């Protein structure tokens, strides 16, 4: 089994080819000059070696012409490289006006993105192929950096301000997203995937699929707020499992009961200590300052959608 080491990432954005061409030319120039210099060193060392004790070199005579040549030629070459790379940089510094805007919030150690249509993602970013995408990014804590090697692009993300990055994906596929600024213990784990999709697939994906977008939004919010950590689906978490909860009669601490309807779920999110389920501790913090009413609606819709799987289907589930 041969080891497969990809030398360069896929070329998957509109600037990939340009950037690679520049890289190859710079690399070729470096290799050429390194070879010339080392070759000359070796050749001169042999050709002009000291042959005897009496061998005295002739004084070096060189005119202005030679000095000027070896100043002007390298200067011209480096200025050409500078001009070329600066033009690529400047051409791509301003996003097109019609670019699709997506917001990205980075934090230790995850990527959160929010589409204008309301779809949120974690460690994933879905984008359409063939049209420009502009990311407006900020951080909740330290400096991170958004990098997609296949797109040949990278941008630092700084807390307290927005930075923009834009690109046009040219090839549908799944591409690595990396954090490329050391941001703490789990920096190396702060990566994700960018999914470049055909426009029609992207539109379909944005529409949220057959379940409806409110539910999809709620599901993501549920992950985002880390509700899943305590409200584990298998019932092993520190808080009650929520599958099949909606519509049930719930026994509370102190013996009272309540019907799990929209109002109850809403109250439990914003004022969790008001009605604690029997057998559980009042551990849950309030989300009053963390979610808007619209987001509560999404969460309620999501929890309402968590129906129990049909009997027999759920292997290993307690009856």
Q: Among 5-13, 68-76, 177-185, 291-299, which window interacts with ligand CUA (CB under 6 A)? A: 177-185
CB 188, min distance to ligand CUA, A: 8
Closest of 153, 123, 156, 118 to residue 138, by C-alpha: 156
CA–CA gap between residue 273 and residue 286 (Å, rounded): 8
Decide if residue 298 touches ligand CUA (CB under 6 A).
no
Q: At what angle do helices 293-305 and 213-224 cross, to 10 degrees?
A: 100
CB nearer to ligand CUA: pick between 179 and 194 = 179
| Cβ atoms of 20 and 11 closer than 8 Å | yes
CB 1, min distance to ligand CUA, A: 32
Closest of 315, 268, 256 to residue 296, by C-alpha: 268
Position among 121, 181, 295, 298 found at the interface with ligand CUA (CB under 6 A): 181
Strands (E), 65-151: 100-107, 110-115, 120-122, 124-128, 132-139, 144-148
The site map against ligand CUA for 15-44 (x = CB under 6 A) is ------------------------------
Decide if residue 295 touches ligand CUA (CB under 6 A).
no
Intra-chain end-to-end CA distance of the chain, in Å: 48
Position among 125, 190, 245, 296 found at the interface with ligand CUA (CB under 6 A): 190
Decide if residue 126 touches ligand CUA (CB under 6 A).
no
Q: Among 69-77, 91-99, 181-189, 201-209, which window interacts with ligand CUA (CB under 6 A)? A: 181-189
CA–CA gap between residue 85 and residue 17 (Å, rounded): 13
Collapse the DSSP code of 220 into the 3-class scheme (helix H, G, I; strand E, B; otherwise coil) and give the result: helix
CB nearer to ligand CUA: pick between 132 and 147 = 147
| Cβ atoms of 118 and 217 closer than 8 Å | yes
Count of positions on this chain that bind ligand CUA (CB under 6 A): 8
CA–CA gap between residue 97 and residue 99 (Å, rounded): 6
The site map against ligand CUA for 102-121 (x = CB under 6 A) is -------x------------
CA–CA gap between residue 217 and residue 127 (Å, rounded): 17
Decide if residue 187 touches ligand CUA (CB under 6 A).
yes
Position among 150, 183, 219, 221 found at the interface with ligand CUA (CB under 6 A): 183
CB nearer to ligand CUA: pick between 190 and 269 = 190
Q: Footprint of ligand CUA on this chain (CB under 6 A)?
A: 109, 144, 179, 181-183, 187, 190
């Amino acid at each position: 089994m041969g080891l497969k080491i990809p030398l360069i990432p896929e070329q998957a954005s509109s600037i990939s080819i340009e950037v690679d061409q520049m890289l190859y030319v710079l690399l070729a120039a470096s290799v050429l000059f390194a070879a010339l210099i080392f070759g000359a060193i070796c050749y001169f060392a042999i050709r002009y070696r000291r042959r005897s004790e009496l061998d005295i070199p002739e004084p070096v005579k060189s005119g202005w012409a030679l000095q000027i040549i070896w100043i002007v030629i390298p200067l011209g070459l480096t200025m050409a490289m500078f001009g070329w790379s600066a033009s690529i940089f400047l051409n791509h510094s301003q996003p097109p006006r019609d670019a699709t805007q997506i917001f990205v919030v980075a934090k230790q150690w995850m990527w959160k993105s929010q589409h204008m249509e309301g779809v949120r993602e974690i460690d994933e970013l879905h984008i359409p192929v063939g049209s420009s995408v502009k990311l407006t990014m900020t951080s909740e804590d330290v400096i991170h950096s958004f990098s997609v090697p296949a797109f040949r692009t990278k941008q630092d993300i700084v807390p307290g301000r927005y930075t923009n990055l834009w690109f046009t994906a040219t090839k549908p596929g799944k591409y690595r997203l990396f954090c490329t600024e050391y941001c703490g213990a789990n920096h190396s784990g702060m990566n994700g995937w960018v999914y470049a999709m055909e426009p029609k697939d992207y539109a379909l994906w944005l529409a949220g699929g057959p379940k409806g977008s409110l539910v999809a939004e709620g599901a993501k919010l549920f992950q985002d707020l880390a509700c899943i950590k305590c409200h584990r689906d298998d019932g092993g978490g520190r808080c009650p499992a929520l599958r099949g909860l909606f519509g049930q009669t719930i026994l509370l601490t102190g013996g009272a009961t309540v019907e799990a309807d929209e109002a109850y779920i809403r109250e439990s999110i914003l004022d969790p200590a008001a009605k604690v389920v029997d057998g559980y501790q009042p551990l849950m913090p309030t989300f009053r300052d963390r979610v808007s009413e619209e987001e509560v609606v999404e969460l309620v819709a999501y929890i309402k959608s968590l129906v129990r799987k049909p009997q027999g289907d759920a292997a290993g589930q307690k009856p």
